[in-house]
Amino acid sequence: MFGSSSAKGGISSLLRSRRVPKAKKRTLVVGLKSDNSSREMLLRLLTSVVMPGDYVLAVHVQQPNDIFDPNTFHRHEDICKSKQVDFHIKVCVGESYISELSNQVRINFATMLAVGCSSPCDKIVGKLLKELPPTCLLLVMDKGGKVLLQKPGTSQEGAPIKVLHSSEPSLSASSGSTESRNKYLIQKSLSMPCSSTSTSSQPTENATFPRTRKYLQHKNTAAKNLFQRLAYLEMICCTRRFTIDELRCATDNFSPNLLTGEGGHSRVYRANLDNGQVAAVKVLKNTQYSEDDLFGEVEILSNLKHENIIQLVGYCYSKDMEAIVYNLLKDSLKQRLKQLNWNTRMQVAIGVARGLEYLHSQTPPIIHRDVKSSNILLSGDCHPQLSDFGAAIVHQQTQQDSAFVKPVHVVGTFGYLAPEYIMYGKVDEKIDVYSYGVVLLELITGKEAIQTDLESHHESLVLWARSILSCGLCDLLVDPDLSGNYNKDEMKTMILAARLCLLHSSSRRPTMKTILRLFEEPEHWLELQRKREELLDGIGLKDESCLCRCYASDSDETMLIEDS
């Protein structure tokens, strides 16, 4: 059934095929099972087949009594970072391994599906080929990473419908013609992308149709999406839609005297609402993406209820204004930091950790992307709340290529950004963990993330702290304004948490859940550290891994005692 010639070129032919002009980056889906063979196959694929700029989605289909940990792919993540490859792991629940993989291929517009198999004549291979569209290459590898088969899919489901030749060469044709073209567009949008080549018998104007169709389709889709988003917010009835007149009245016509802050994309005013509530109104500056930013933030916040997350009061959407209304808190951590005693700083650290852990525990997780001291608001009793979700995203592990999708770009504040986010634009929960580590340093030292001296020289708090920690001089980090009034064990715990959050490798950073455990069970972790130090004094570094196995009960705990 399967000819051996299709696998003859092996990996080298795949590499040769990638040397043709730099096209759009590829999306590769990889089928993962729970065994080590799948990990080795994935490792081989990442080192030999995947090229810089590719997007790799490793998919595991959960089975009953299945044991699969998506947080144990540190080695694979490091390879992807070095090759500038976007790498994600997705766990799916489905009855059929084959149908779920083929579904992921279609919704991600993948050009390759890689699976591990002992033989190219396996029944699974045949079924996969029947499920995959011709635009996707099936790559079958054995346990050792050897390519057994390369063959395009044979399914016609979802393939683009051919355009019938027509005598109407322009867009000024009759309504019936336009209707049929719109129908073609809808069908094509549900299918895999195809080659833009056409036969010479087609009219010249056909070459411009895809771009024009795409624009019209986007315009119609955008209007439909706007209506759906407005309808959704009205339906859930958990937030109020203000009129521009109501906000003008609440802010004394947006008086400069009530302006409490201004950023690159918005202004914030103090407002007295008609029900007597005091609120903050963030007025977005009119930009190409302000509408998306408004609905993105409102949709995220309207579904969040947590004591450490800012409370959404409502929003305003009109042709003249886009604004978001929140509950008003007194000050930010940045404004109050130097006035806080040690117990309050600990309270803030734990509260922010709980807020972030809540965001990351959502399905799918929510990434804040702009965790910093000025976005941590404090109530009168210094209860912290995370605010400003303008940069927040719902972390969907899918990636589609569209000329009308808002470009992915690095947002946030210099001094708080994780290295992999700056260099590669990689977004996951660990970039929030890194930013939280910077906030912990601010709580420990009383210094800002970026300090400017009299000569306008900028110094990174993280680099300064690392140089001190590398010399073992932890006491020099402590804010002198505390005057020694702090719990030493709590200080050690916070320093340990900061060091772990700021690890350069994102795969080695703990989750926010682990950081919370660290704060809630400090005696346990500090005892592990003491035993590690005592044992290392006698046995040397070469046996350090033995200690990890003796005292660590899970991967996060192992990481804590290894990296501290």
**pLDDT for the residue numbered 430:** 95
**pLDDT for the residue numbered 533:** 67
3-state secondary structure 412-438: CCCCCCCHHHHHHCCCCHHHHHHHHHH
**pLDDT for the residue numbered 356:** 97
The average pLDDT across 431-452 equals 94
**pLDDT for the residue numbered 269:** 94
**pLDDT for the residue numbered 409:** 63
Q: Given CA atoms 17, 21, 22, 24 in this order, what sign does their dihedral have?
A: negative
The average pLDDT across 279-284 equals 94
Q: Which of 83-97, 160-174, 416-430, 528-542 has the highest mean pLDDT?
A: 416-430
Dist CA 160 CA 502 (whole Å): 48
**Percentage of the chain exceeding pLDDT 70:** 70
500: CB partners within 8 A, 6+ apart:
437, 509, 510, 515, 518, 559, 560, 563, 564
180-183: long-range contacts at Cβ-Cβ below 8 A with a sequence spacing of 24 or more? 181/209, 181/213, 182/216, 182/217
With a cut of 80, say whether residue 7 has pLDDT above it.
no
With a cut of 70, say whether residue 558 has pLDDT above it.
no
Mean pLDDT (the chain) is: 76
The average pLDDT across 45-74 equals 81
| pLDDT tens, position by position, 230-275 | 666 655 556 788 999 999 999 999 999 999 888 778 899 999 999 9
- Higher confidence at residue 471 or residue 501? 501
| pLDDT tens, position by position, 214-227 | 434 444 555 556 55
**pLDDT for the residue numbered 26:** 87
Q: Which residues pair with 279 in a beta bridge?
A: 271, 327
**pLDDT for the residue numbered 229:** 62
**pLDDT for the residue numbered 454:** 52
The average pLDDT across 514-541 equals 72
- Higher confidence at residue 70 or residue 446? 446
The average pLDDT across 140-147 equals 79
| pLDDT tens, position by position, 446-487 | 999 987 765 546 688 999 999 888 888 888 999 999 999 999
The average pLDDT across 105-115 equals 88
Closest CA to 413 of 462, 369, 377: 369
Which residues are the active-site residues? 370
The average pLDDT across 558-562 equals 47
Closest CA to 323 of 423, 250, 236: 250
With a cut of 90, say whether residue 324 has pLDDT above it.
yes
Asked which of 7-21, 34-48, 428-442 is least confident by mean pLDDT, the reply is 7-21
Instruction: Categorize the per-residue pLDDT at 308 as very low, low, confident or very high, splitting at 50, 70 and 90.
Output: very high
Strand order in the sheet with 147-152: 86-93, 55-62, 27-32, 112-116, 137-141, 147-152
Asked which of 81-95, 155-169, 422-436 is least confident by mean pLDDT, the reply is 155-169
Instruction: Categorize the per-residue pLDDT at 162 as very low, low, confident or very high, splitting at 50, 70 and 90.
Output: very low
The average pLDDT across 135-144 equals 84
With a cut of 80, say whether residue 373 has pLDDT above it.
yes
**pLDDT for the residue numbered 17:** 44
Closest CA to 377 of 369, 389, 365, 366: 389
The average pLDDT across 336-362 equals 96
**pLDDT for the residue numbered 564:** 52
Q: Which of 11-25, 177-191, 436-450 has the highest mean pLDDT?
A: 436-450
Q: Which domains does the chain have, with CATH numbers?
A: 27-152 (3.40.50.620), 220-327 (3.30.200.20), 331-396+412-536 (1.10.510.10)
| pLDDT tens, position by position, 376-431 | 999 989 999 999 998 899 887 654 333 333 445 677 788 899 998 888 888 999 99
Q: Which of 3-7, 126-130, 157-161, 344-348 has the highest mean pLDDT?
A: 344-348
Counting Cβ atoms within 10 Å, is residue 380 exposed (0-12), middle (13-18) or buried (19+)?
exposed
**pLDDT for the residue numbered 369:** 93
Lookup: tokens for 136: 């996707």
Dist CA 76 CA 345 (whole Å): 37
Q: Which of 54-58, 119-123, 406-410 has the highest mean pLDDT?
A: 54-58
First-to-last alpha carbon distance for the chain, in angstroms, is 56
Residue with tokens 């007295």: 272
Instruction: Categorize the per-residue pLDDT at 374 as very low, low, confident or very high, splitting at 50, 70 and 90.
Output: very high
Pairing between strand 27-32 and 384-386? unpaired
Instruction: Categorize the per-residue pLDDT at 8 as very low, low, confident or very high, splitting at 50, 70 and 90.
Output: very low
